[in-house]
Amino acid sequence: MSMGILGRKVGMTQVFDEEGKAVPVTVIEAGPCSIVEIRTPERNSYSAVQLGFGEIKPVKVNKPMKGYFEKQGTPLKRWLREFRVDTTTDYQVGQEITVSLFQNNEIVDVTGISKGKGTAGVMKRWGFGGACASHGASRNHRHAGSIGCSSYPGRVIKGRKMAGHMGSERVTTKNLMVFAVDVENNLILIKGSVPGARDGLVMIRKTA
């Protein structure tokens, strides 16, 4: 388990590497994040570091959360997330975590909430092939087909792939490469695409 950082997805662009080849990258505004609380095995039965990221107006924070931040002695933050770590001895409340945590060509895992696609059919949601285009097929070209037996077990088995809500799920893309790190502007460029929509929250951690 390794430390990570919180960030906001800015968007995608392309940059050129040393050989002059165009490389698609995702620009993420990562940090600075402040440590709000330390989770210890003695008190919480696990080791973790809680990070806060993003500015927020005090009027948008409810009283319980205001009291929590005042108790910790840290400024108000829009997002709070935990990162499991092997040991918490190197961290303390109020400490800042920046993009200097990462280096060029480092391999990371990025977690975000995927884009919501609404209600989708089985072909879009699961990649089904659909029914026949002709040969007697009538108004069922994009249907799923049979979803179970009538006599036994007489019900639809749990987990059956069917039409329904698609997207808006927590997704982790693993083994992405850090193309560049801009410490002055708190930016990190990751090769390829990462989950989530523009301005969405993402969690970046070093690959175990």
Span 87-114, pLDDT tens digits: 888 888 888 999 999 999 999 999 999 9
Q: Where are the domains of the chain?
A: 13-30+101-116+167-208, 33-97, 119-166
> What proportions of the chain, in percent to the nearest 5, are helix, strand and coil?
10, 40, 50
Average pLDDT of the chain is 92
Confidence of residue 2 (pLDDT cuts 50, 70, 90): confident
pLDDT of residue 68: 92
pLDDT at residue 1 tops 80: no
**Cα 122 from chain centre:** 25
CATH class, 13-30+101-116+167-208 region: mainly beta
CA distance 81 to 36: 10
Q: Kindly state the percentage of the chain with pLDDT values over 70.
A: 100
CATH of 33-97, one of 3.40.50.300, 3.30.230.70, 3.40.1160.10, 3.30.160.810: 3.30.160.810
Cβ proximity of 6 and 203 under 8 Å: yes
User: Parallel, antiparallel, or unpaired for β 201-206 and 107-113?
Assistant: antiparallel
Cβ proximity of 36 and 70 under 8 Å: no
CA distance 137 to 173: 39
Reported as a single tens digit per residue, the pLDDT across 26-47 is: 999 998 999 999 999 999 999 9
Q: Do domains 13-30+101-116+167-208 and 33-97 have the same CATH topology?
A: no
